[in-house]
Chains A and B, each alone.
Chain A
Amino acid sequence: MALALGRAIQEGRNLLEPEAYELLASYGVSVPPHKLVSSAEEAEAAATEIGYPVVTKIVSPDILHKTEAGGVLLNLNDAASVKAAYGQITEHARQGKAAVRGVLISRMAPPGTEVIVGLTQDLQFGPVMMFGLGGIFVEVYQDVSFRLIPLAERDAAAMIHEIKAFPLLQGVRGKKPADLKALTHLLLKVSQIAQENPEISEMDLNPVLVYEKGLSVVDARVLLHQRAPTA
């Protein structure tokens, strides 16, 4: 079991974002370069090490939806704005009475085609995987595909092909086609993670940016089945 998962189970909480990154990375899923910091000075040093532009995100077991809680600032290009961002989002969290575990500094991923990869619990079938294109495609058109885990490779490929927005992944209006092989691989990895770690109840990789070559999981949420914390 990934270390991060063990810690969260021990403490009876969901995974913090750096832990979700750690879990994904331990399965070979590519996540942006990142560092957890706990002061404005550390934030600046981390940004220099990682390279600009960067993103700052609040890390708190009490905050599930970071953007809505004012816990995310994107596309920061210099030391001054990183320091300011650190102050702003930690202050925001404290006002909301959330326990702050630090701030995650990560490399701002270049734009790509946004997709969502998720794991949810179905009332009857148990853990099911979901795939869809980011933004309005999932929210407005509910253009998503589902499969039970474990996924076979052909299931993963079919999930990608059967959404209505699939042509957007093949490249339209001069856009290059997205790396479908990398995407298939990601779906299989998430299936494997869920299969090997039944403590996980939900995963939400949203968005995942898919490029002409490769992809990057920009935001990851991993929830565990509710249970009493173990002593």
Chain B
Amino acid sequence: MPSPFPSFKSKEALQALFRPSSVAVIGASTAPEKLGYQIFKNLLDAGFPGKVHPINPKAPEILGCPCYSNIDAVPDQVDLAVIIIPAPLVADTIRRCGGRGVKGAIVISGGFSETGPEGEVMQEQLVEAAQESKMAVIGPNCQGVNNPHHPLCASWPLLTRRGPVAVISQSGTVGAALMDWASQEELGVSTFVSLGNRADVDEADLIHYFAQDPNTETIAIYMEGVKVAPKFLEAVRQCQKPLVILKAGRTPKGRKAAESHTRSLAGRDEVYEGVFRQFSVHRANDLEQLYDFSKALSYLPRLKGPRLLIVTSSGGSAILATDVAEMTGLDVASLPDQVAQRLREVLPKHCIVGNPLDLTGDATAQMYRQVVEAAASHFDAIALIFGDPIPGASEVVGRDPLQLVIYLGGAEVERQERLLFHRKGIPVFPTPERGIQALSHLL
């Protein structure tokens, strides 16, 4: 029986948080070491397209912007308030914001339910204030929101790379690390949301929202437990996009740590395992998998079958790849005779023609192209392992059949090629195991 659960936050309510026209930073600071300064500066530096108002009763201006003593003093309409002030002041501030027509708030401040009974009371007051004012609130105790497509960097560090993955995290750092990796690889994210204590907006609201967000292909979530199970399940049921979840707190002590971190009830891990399988959620076992699976699911098509050809310049890498492939349900099927014959004619004698197909250390990009051309119609996917500095690799890889690129041991050439691949929208994986593991999630 479907239990009644609180309805999802509306698109309009959440848009105030992710695509506001104007922002007030309540608790903006002139001191560079303070978050109130960094967030304000990141909003400006990321190029927020509307007005950003600093609010601080003690400063006349911050970074050249006139400072207001409180929200009522701001002359213009404000959509979003970013709040970085001591916990006891937050509920009243939200109420004042509501009175001024502010539609949403991101509460960075900690000191709420994560600290004990007193904080819990303040969090309840925060929720009451938000409900009275009909405001959507993210946090408290969070690292903010970064939507590079707007752009809105109400968070830290300053990252502006746009991409297709929505990152939703109960831990600010975990989410920021993911975003940082994506940025370094020139891939980027669609939006980063740090959930914090989830006093109001929770992961189910965000799955529901990003399932309809045109910039998002895949939703990646770090969580310590679901907040309201029936609401979460309904969001997952409705979501047509791939959902990758890293759920921490698998062991009894890990669960205990999760309880004190964000007051999450982690529940039994085996039950989560069953639920994720039942609802086709891609479960990541660690942070790297959360990153890799989201990357594969965003940039590569689904596999039509399990038949995989592995082409390599490195014998060892191909064995590692074969092991993972066999363990994850992929089929390293033997090379058809006519393909093998044809390849023996065109490839140098010392190449080992089989599956894996080892072009050996002096492989050229051209040889990879020859293999793909000859074998394409016989396999569902071809894993191309560039295990040496092979220039021009990014020139020879196409999309039919699915070609999975693994590049390692190539030093400077590899780093250049990786960026060239990524600019073409072809993801590159850094080790055979990580690449093949991600590929198996396209089955």
**B279 nearest CB neighbor, chain A only:** A148
Q: How many chain A residues have a CB neighbour from B under 8 Å? A: 18
A198–B409 Cα distance when bound, in Å, is 59
Contacts of A128 in B (CB 8 A): 271, 274
B273 touches A146 (CB 8 A): yes
A63–B267 Cα distance when bound, in Å, is 29
List A residues at the B interface (Cβ < 8 Å). 122-126, 128, 142, 144-148, 155, 158-159, 162, 195, 198
B275 touches A125 (CB 8 A): yes
Taking the closest CB of chain A, its distance from the CB of B280, in whole angstroms, is 11
List B residues at the A interface (Cβ < 8 Å). 1, 3, 225-226, 229, 233, 265, 267-268, 270-271, 273-275, 277-278
Q: Which of A145, A147, A195 lies at the interface centre, i.e. has the most chain B CB atoms within 10 A of its CB?
A: A147
B229 touches A146 (CB 8 A): no
Contact of A123 among B233, B267, B270 (CB under 8 A): B267
**A125 nearest CB neighbor, chain B only:** B229
A125 touches B278 (CB 8 A): no
A124 touches B229 (CB 8 A): yes
Taking the closest CB of chain B, its distance from the CB of A184, in whole angstroms, is 15
Given contacts A142-B270, A145-B270, A145-B273, 10 further A-B contacts (CB under 8 A): A123-B267, A124-B226, A124-B271, A125-B271, A125-B275, A128-B271, A145-B274, A146-B274, A148-B275, A159-B274
Contact of B277 among A125, A144, A162 (CB under 8 A): A162
10 examples of A-B residue contacts, CB within 8 angstroms:
A122-B271, A123-B265, A123-B268, A124-B229, A125-B233, A125-B271, A126-B3, A148-B278, A159-B274, A162-B277
**B227 nearest CB neighbor, chain A only:** A124
Contacts of B226 in A (CB 8 A): 124
A115–B233 Cα distance when bound, in Å, is 29
Taking the closest CB of chain B, its distance from the CB of A148, in whole angstroms, is 6
A87–B277 Cα distance when bound, in Å, is 50
A25–B439 Cα distance when bound, in Å, is 46
**A131 nearest CB neighbor, chain B only:** B274
Contact flag A198-B1 (CB < 8 Å), given A125-B275, A147-B274: yes
Could you tell me the dominant secondary structure of chain B's interface residues? helix
Contacts of A198 in B (CB 8 A): 1
**A150 nearest CB neighbor, chain B only:** B1
A145–B168 Cα distance when bound, in Å, is 28
**A198 nearest CB neighbor, chain B only:** B1
Q: Which of B267, B274, B275, B277 lies at the interface centre, i.e. has the most chain A CB atoms within 10 A of its CB?
A: B274
A124 touches B267 (CB 8 A): yes
Contacts of A126 in B (CB 8 A): 3, 229
Taking the closest CB of chain B, its distance from the CB of A192, in whole angstroms, is 13
**B3 nearest CB neighbor, chain A only:** A126
A148–B273 Cα distance when bound, in Å, is 11
Contacts of A145 in B (CB 8 A): 270, 273-274
Contact of A122 among B3, B233, B267, B278 (CB under 8 A): B267
A147–B273 Cα distance when bound, in Å, is 9
Contacts of B271 in A (CB 8 A): 122, 124-125, 128, 146
Contacts of B267 in A (CB 8 A): 122-125
Taking the closest CB of chain A, its distance from the CB of B245, in whole angstroms, is 14
Contacts of A159 in B (CB 8 A): 274
A146 touches B270 (CB 8 A): yes
B274 touches A124 (CB 8 A): no
Taking the closest CB of chain A, its distance from the CB of B226, in whole angstroms, is 6
**A142 nearest CB neighbor, chain B only:** B270
A162–B329 Cα distance when bound, in Å, is 13
Taking the closest CB of chain B, its distance from the CB of A139, in whole angstroms, is 14
Contact of B274 among A123, A148, A195 (CB under 8 A): A148
Taking the closest CB of chain B, its distance from the CB of A199, in whole angstroms, is 12
**A144 nearest CB neighbor, chain B only:** B270
Q: Which of B233, B267, B268 lies at the interface centre, i.e. has the most chain A CB atoms within 10 A of its CB?
A: B268
Taking the closest CB of chain A, its distance from the CB of B152, in whole angstroms, is 32
Taking the closest CB of chain B, its distance from the CB of A155, in whole angstroms, is 6
Contacts of B268 in A (CB 8 A): 122-123, 146
Contacts of A123 in B (CB 8 A): 265, 267-268
